[in-house]
Structure 1
Amino acid sequence: MSDLSQIVKAYDVRGLVPGQWDERAAAALGAAFAEVLGTSGERRDTVVIAHDMRDSSPGLAAAFATGVRAEGLSVLDIGLGSTDLLYYASGALDLPGAMFTASHNPAGYNGIKMCRAGARPIGQDSGLAEIRDRAQARLDKNEPDPPAGTGELTRRDLLADYAAHLRGLVDLSGIRPLKVVIDAGNGMAGHTVPAVLGDQALAALPLDIVPLYFELDGTFPNHEANPLDPANLRDLQAAVRAHGADVGLAFDGDADRCFVVDERGEPVSPSAITALVAVRELTRHPGSVVIHNLITSRAVPEIVREHGGEPVCSRVGHSFIKADMARTNAVFGGEHSAHYYFRDFWFADTGMLAAMHLLAALGGQDRPLSELGREYERYVASGEINSTVGDQAGKLTEVRASYPEAETDETDGLTLRFADGSWCNLRPSNTEPLLRLNVEAPTAERMAALRDEVLDLVRR
């Protein structure tokens, strides 16, 4: 019997298959999803479903579809897709959707990212907890699997429509020639990148793409599709140097996040990419709001203001970012984790569109990316550092008391801001006994000193 409290996280479903959940649980979740859509007054006649390349994904998606159809709703199955392709379908067709993927998790995992019509997010506080409870009640009754129901099942390929939509948002035809290494990590970027940047209709596009691991393989035979781990960028970095490329791009497993390395193979921070894309969007939409989360560099709000925009800080997490995007009608939003959100994309995140903006910016001028990026990299950051902690609240109290001179902010964990411009943030994990530390300072020495001081407090 599946315990859904173990796999339904703050923003999505994620767990081991079949150890923590299976097709029976997927069917119960599908039926519960349809029920919640009905009780919220936002029910549509159809739910759109996509899945990634993991071995368990087609079966889980089919079982979820059976649960949806048992409640009288139809299902539009768009087959293999990235998460942002599912968001495109949900937005363009104004349908609720479900994407079957475990994103950057190892091969044994799978999950579901659900959204309402128009790609609006579903999290714990906006329907996911109710879906979990209704599905658990179905499983606890140990009833037979639901019948097919009255809902219809149709299939449609939306990959070309998705690609055309993105190409209509960013014009790459006039840029200088660029050599681009792209590491798909055997994930869904191997399916979407050729459609957006590499098909024969784009033969005149001045991009020389060097593909790494474009073969779809949910066992991830080369490395995990998790570019947050520096070890998973090594092949990309080496290929950029070996090919003399202008830029390297790495996508995670479901291709909703994009990481960047410059011509030297050095990582470009997601905060710098956030600032760069924000400047481009503010050029098109002067005075607009730009969302950034609490962990992004303080260079981001500085640069947004300098270009006439209004920076708004949000809590970490896509459901918070998307809600703030919609509330403020923000033109763009970025997170330290390389999620990038666009008003032109139903306020949803898409790694592909962020990559296209970067290519347009790089190809629209003559400097290498290392020089261009320096315009947006003003401070030194630690990156996220995890520590296992039994008493998260107690440690936060201890750290706060150790720095009485600091300005404190408890919007999302504990943020300490210092007079010299340094800051640190400690956030509890939603699912594990961890505290996540991020530190930024004007110099590398100050960053290292503050990082080590706080880590000593947390870990002793």
Structure 2
Amino acid sequence: MKPRDSNKNQSAAPLSRSAQRALEQAKRKAAVQQKILLILLAIALAVNLLAAFFLYQTLVVEQNRENLQRLTQESVAERAALLEKHLQADALRVEALSANSAWAAQLAADNLDNTAAARAQLAQTLAAQDDRVLNIYLIPTGTATLDREAEFPLRYLELDLIQRAEQGKTPLPELVEINKRWMFQWAKPVTTGADSAPLGSLLITTDAAPLLALFAGGDPSLGETVLQQQFAGSPAQMVRKSGTGNAGPKASGKVANSYLTLDFTPSEQLKLRAEELPTLWLFIVSLIAAASLALCWFLSKVITRATLNTKESAGPSLQETVQASKETKEAAAEEALINPMFQNQDILDIAVIDEDEDILGLNQASGKKTGGAKRHGVDEKDVPAEIFRSYDIRGLVNSQITPQLALLIGQAVGSEAIDQGEHSIVVARDGRTHSDALTQALIKGILRSGCNVINIGVVPTPLMYFATFHFDDTHSGVMVTASHNPKEYNGFKVVINNRALADDSVTELRTRILEQRFHQGLGEETPRAIIPDYIERVFSDVALAGNIHLVVDAGNAVTGLVAPQLFEELGCEVTPLFCEIDGEFPNHNPDPTIEQNLQALIAKVQEVNADIGVAFDGDGDRLVVVTPKGDIIWPDRLLMLYAKDILARNPGADVLFDVKCSRQLNQVISSYGGRPIMWKTGHSPMKAKMEETQALIGGEYSGHIFIKDRWYGFDDGIYAMARLLEIITLRDQSIDAIFASFPQLHATPEIKVNVSDQDKFGLIKKLAESGDFANGAVTTIDGLRVDYTKGWGLVRASNTSPALTLRFEAESPEALQKIQQIFKRELLKVDNKLSIEF
């Protein structure tokens, strides 16, 4: 056993010192390389994942999206082409029919048999030659009248087509539904030659069923196809819908030479057709992965070598110590190597690990990247809460509204617009003396946010709204104006993505300012003209059937730039009153809801024997009308006439009005087949409710009229007046006679009771909680409205001035006074310091 033990001891003899050092160095090198390799592999994995995701989005997702978009566009284009071909064939047949010389012969001046019966007989005879033709009217120039009860009725739509044909135009066919059957109306002028004036017009009604059948013939499994008819400025009217789909964005196409459009939304089945196998993506990702693995292995060797070399060059002191020990005596060297300091950790290992961490960035802070020093907030005193009202920003210039605040508002609005996907904002201003300075500061703030500015200059607010629909590169705008307030006030009306900011959206701008949540950038300012486009758009929409003499009172405000010119273009005789811009408002404040401000207009209408007079407010989004008798037609009575006109073409439509309007309006709307909806006062909440209900007409007692029929739905006093003139000229009555047919109760104008902005809302809340209004029906959608059997009363906090607004209406003066006294009693219970003068 001893020899075997001897051999064992010999085989297990310790390695030489140099061999041990070489072995230890190899181990350290392997450990360092393994560590570095693992780190590089982790980095490579992260890079590969990011590259794979990016390439997947680019090569797979984006390609599939483009394929789906192409197939969607092809589907709508194919369906539109079929309808265009069919409609073109119908147009040729109608053209051939209207070219028959018998029409002109029948209307010739020397034709003694030109009677209604003879015209009807000729129309019936020629219509029978084509089974697609359902009816023909042959109408001498200027004789078309309303006939809603006929089998093929003549409504305002048909009268408009006939009027355009009589002007020598050839209007596009319009798709109409009569007795639940769809038909096309074609209007053609009847002439004796190319250069002769029309003797009359043809209204040809053709069957639309073949076209609708062609529309329904597509594959419904591929997506949802919607056939609509849309006129400029009016909401689209859905005619037919086929299939279902929600797998991607819709594509739209226009049917040429018509008002028809197609919307196609793809289905999941079409989306599956658009998808491609990700072959290229897999190939590229595999190459990147292989290359990154090879690179990691190579870099691990290079970094390991560099690291160890660095440590070896930094460690001679240890080697010199060992060498010195060797030269003196072995025991000293052994003691140095087994010194307790080094028993648990190799000095080289420590040095290499520290250096690795430095080279590979392991010692760097891993916290989130900061964006710089924290910005200090704005002093709340410089951003008064009370000027951020329910539907705009408005206050006293210098004490509340300053250029410095305007700049901050510009930054906030620009940042909000960018967050909502907009990159340009229309900016306009009214004619107040301080609007220019505020506008310049506002623009500077918007540009600082990185948002661009389209400056349309001094124009009424409706033209700013119009610009957000008319321009292709933006749907947002800011108007610098205080509307009807006195000259000491100014403010800002904000629209983003065609929606006026209201309530929380307005106060959020203040929060954004206080927290300095602004985008940073460098926008560009571009000037553009909008007045000519606006006048052209209204002129193309409104047609007056007769001459009318109109007095326009602009109150020395900004509508004086546009209204007289527009109404003259429409063919009116215009007498301007206070149409020169003067921000001091030397004649009267630009608030037409105050009777005193209308006295000069009434006097001028009577002086020049005009047919009608109109007063606009300071920025042109409100109007009030006066008659030759001197009567004031308040906007709720105007709304009765608008509702009657629009409901005649759109039975069952919603009509919106605010809490200050007459209860008679509710009855008028119902009697003409409409659905009355009462809502909050204010242009922003009214516009939001118009959008929600898809109402075609709405209005406030204060003069805001919102027309969605043939227009855009925003409040526009100028356009509303043009539509009123159109309605009046189609009637053989004076303005006084027209409104005499609408019922009128005893009513007060708006009554203002001064209350501070800080107290007014709290006062209304207390009144609602503690007020005793006997057996009245209380409505609290906006302030407090109480309806009784014989009348009603309202009190609400004004959103545009430091005041309470009251209004009353009743069947008799006695009932009116009684309701007023009830409100006065309850208000004084809440605050006995109120000055209530009734």
Say yes or no: TM over 0.5. Answer: yes
1:49 aligns with 2:427: yes
Distance 1:224 1:260 in 2: 17
Distance 2:750 2:768 in 1: 16
1:105 aligns with 2:485: yes
1:163 counterpart (535, 541, 545): 535
1:33 aligns with 2:413: yes
Match of 1:151 in 2: 523
Match of 1:7 in 2: 387
| Larger radius of gyration between Structure 1 and Structure 2 | 2
1:123 counterpart (502, 505, 515): 502
Distance 1:209 1:431 in 2: 32
- Which amino acid in structure 2 is aligned with residue 338 of structure 1? G
Match of 2:728 in 1: 362
2:615 counterpart (233, 250, 266): 250
Distance 1:439 1:245 in 2: 31
User: How much does 1:156 deviate?
Assistant: 0.6
Structure 1 contact 379–443 (Cα < 8 Å) conserved: yes
Structure 2 contact 395–491 (Cα < 8 Å) conserved: yes
Distance 2:799 2:557 in 1: 26
Structure 1 contact 47–73 (Cα < 8 Å) conserved: yes
- Which amino acid in structure 2 is aligned with residue 339 of structure 1? H
Distance 1:187 1:430 in 2: 21
Tell me: CA distance 1:220–1:214, structure 2 relative to 1, closer, same or farther (3 Å). same
- Which amino acid in structure 1 is aligned with residue 450 of structure 2? G
1:452 counterpart (807, 812, 821): 821
Structure 1 contact 385–436 (Cα < 8 Å) conserved: yes
Tell me whether 308-317 or 375-384 shows the greater mean CA deviation. 375-384
- Which amino acid in structure 2 is aligned with residue 365 of structure 1? R
User: How much does 1:13 deviate?
Assistant: 1.2
Pairwise mapping of residues 60-139 of structure 1 onto structure 2 (< 5 A)? 60-93=438-471, 94-118=474-498, 120-125=499-504, 127-138=505-516
User: How much does 1:361 deviate?
Assistant: 2.3
Pairwise mapping of residues 44-443 of structure 1 onto structure 2 (< 5 A)? 44-93=422-471, 94-118=474-498, 120-125=499-504, 127-138=505-516, 149-172=521-544, 174-175=545-546, 177-199=547-569, 202=570, 205=571, 207-343=572-708, 344-388=710-754, 391-399=763-771, 401-403=772-774, 405-420=775-790, 422-430=791-799, 434-443=803-812
Deviations, residues 378-419 of structure 1 (Å, cap 9, x unaligned)? 3222222233567443444454x241x222222222222223
Tell me: CA distance 1:398–1:437, structure 2 relative to 1, closer, same or farther (3 Å). farther
SS in 2 for 1:291: strand
Structure 1 contact 36–130 (Cα < 8 Å) conserved: no
Tell me whether 450-459 or 343-352 shows the greater mean CA deviation. 450-459
SS in 2 for 1:427: strand
- Which amino acid in structure 2 is aligned with residue 336 of structure 1? Y
Distance 1:369 1:432 in 2: 33
User: How much does 1:130 deviate?
Assistant: 1.5
User: How much does 1:137 deviate?
Assistant: 4.1
SS in 1 for 2:456: strand
Query: Which 5+ residue runs of structure 2 have no aligned equivalent?
Result: 1-380, 833-838
SS in 2 for 1:348: coil
Deviations, residues 34-59 of structure 1 (Å, cap 9, x unaligned)? 212233xx221211111111122122
SS in 1 for 2:733: coil
Distance 2:626 2:736 in 1: 9
Larger relative contact order, structure 1 or 2 (CA cutoff 8 Å, min sep 6) = 1
Structure 1 contact 104–226 (Cα < 8 Å) conserved: yes
Tell me: CA distance 1:280–1:153, structure 2 relative to 1, closer, same or farther (3 Å). same
Distance 2:690 2:800 in 1: 25
Tell me whether 57-66 or 156-165 shows the greater mean CA deviation. 57-66
Deviations, residues 258-314 of structure 1 (Å, cap 9, x unaligned)? 111111122112111011111122223332211111221122222122222222221
User: How much does 1:256 deviate?
Assistant: 0.8
1:22 counterpart (402, 406, 429): 402
Tell me whether 46-55 or 341-350 shows the greater mean CA deviation. 341-350
Distance 1:256 1:431 in 2: 14
Distance 1:321 1:392 in 2: 21
Deviations, residues 201-231 of structure 1 (Å, cap 9, x unaligned)? x5xx1x2211101111111111111112211
- Which amino acid in structure 1 is aligned with residue 717 of structure 2? G
Query: Which 5+ residue runs of structure 1 have no aligned equivalent?
Result: none
Structure 1 contact 88–345 (Cα < 8 Å) conserved: no
Distance 1:350 1:108 in 2: 24
Tell me: CA distance 1:301–1:402, structure 2 relative to 1, closer, same or farther (3 Å). closer
Distance 2:431 2:564 in 1: 16
SS in 2 for 1:10: coil
| Higher helix residue share | 2
Match of 2:149 in 1: none
Deviations, residues 304-331 of structure 1 (Å, cap 9, x unaligned)? 2222222222111122211110011110
Distance 1:394 1:117 in 2: 37
Distance 1:226 1:283 in 2: 32
Tell me: CA distance 1:433–1:397, structure 2 relative to 1, closer, same or farther (3 Å). farther
Distance 2:729 2:441 in 1: 45
User: How much does 1:341 deviate?
Assistant: 0.6
Tell me: CA distance 1:107–1:431, structure 2 relative to 1, closer, same or farther (3 Å). closer
Identity among equivalent positions (%) equals 32
RMSD: 2.3
Match of 2:310 in 1: none
Distance 2:467 2:724 in 1: 24
Tell me: CA distance 1:242–1:121, structure 2 relative to 1, closer, same or farther (3 Å). same
Structure 1 contact 54–219 (Cα < 8 Å) conserved: yes
Tell me whether 16-25 or 232-241 shows the greater mean CA deviation. 16-25
